[in-house]
Amino acid sequence: METGIRLAERGSAWLLENGGLDEALRRFAWFCCGAEFCENLLPKPEWYAREAGFFLERGAGVCLLTPPVSEKGLKALRQVFRRLARLARGNTGRLEVTVNDLGALQLARETAPELSLNAGRLIYDNVLLADRRKLKVLNGEAVRLFASLGVRRFEISTTGRQQETNFGDAKAYGFRPADISLTLHYPYLNLTSGRACVTGMPDIGPEDSPAGVACFRECEACAFELSHPSINEPLTVKGNTVFLKFPARFYRNSDTLRRRRIDRLVYSPFP
């Protein structure tokens, strides 16, 4: 079972500021860096290349996260992918890029075919049906479509329990379990993400272009906890995304996860 830590857009700076770099390098094989849910938090292209080089030089694997994007974000990602392509040529198996946008997926394949790509937590449901109780592959055609684009790893979030799968009936659904690998993020489940956030983003009308929106990244200051009468667990709001936290261990051992094609666990110290 591979282990990783999600540093999001804070990246290596968070570990250096907290003095936790050496311990993290001992505990985790993968470091996940970058904006995952909001294009307004997209670091500059040189930041992505710098983060990748930082962890690769220390013998670790690095998975760079990218968010859903508009035309503004696509323009930035083109430069990101081109810079990372040069690093990918000498680091096969240790450098990955997670995309959360089908346009970004196509752009990555066109501009940087060397990159190893994952389907992120916002687009995995094109292939997988996942809720609190079930984790099922929709059909073999969906698996093969993503495989044709170089995607065989899909990222999902914990739901606080072991999920039933249809992997035992894979032949009937037209796929092989070996065709997919899963990364499980914990302890936060991303419930929903919006086009704007509640912490300072101005209202964007349907006729407005995101290119003209000024974001001052107020969401980086903190997250908010709130409650809802229909939900037992407290909710956490970070930027444009609402999370549920499931801190309790929900599986017996790594074998129970591997049977569900989960071979990488990624810990998030913050939502």
pLDDT at 13: 97
Q: How confident is the model at residue 139 (pLDDT cuts 50, 70, 90)?
A: very high
Task: For residue 11, give both structure tokens.
Answer: 């990246």
pLDDT digits (tens, 9 = 90+) for 56-68: 999 999 999 999 9
pLDDT at 141: 95
- Taken as a whole, the chain contains a residue count of 271
- What domains lie within the chain, and their CATH numbers? 2-190+245-267 (3.20.20)
Q: How confident is the model at residue 213 (pLDDT cuts 50, 70, 90)?
A: low
Over the chain, what HEC string results? CEEEEEEECCCHHHHHHHCCHHHHHHHCCEEEECCCCCHHHCCCHHHHHHHHHHHHCCCCEEEEECCCCCHHHHHHHHHHHHHHHHHHCCCCCCEEEEECCHHHHHHHHHHCCCCEEEECCCCHHHCEEECCCEEEECCHHHHHHHHHCCEEEEEEECCCCCCEECHHHHHHHCCCHHHCEEEEEECEEEEEECCCCCCCCCCCCCCCCHHHCCCCCHHHHCCEEEEECCEEEEEEEECCEEEEECCCCCCCCHHHHHCCCEEEEEECCCC
- Cα angle vertex 156, ends 150, 159, to 5°? 165
| Cα gap 34→132, rounded to integer Å | 27
pLDDT digits (tens, 9 = 90+) for 239-259: 999 999 998 887 878 898 998
As a whole number, mean pLDDT of residues 85-89 equals: 91
pLDDT digits (tens, 9 = 90+) for 176-198: 999 999 999 999 999 999 877 87
| Cα gap 84→53, rounded to integer Å | 10
For the four alpha carbons of 192, 194, 197 and 198, in that order, the dihedral sign comes to negative
Mean pLDDT of all residues in the chain? Answer: 92
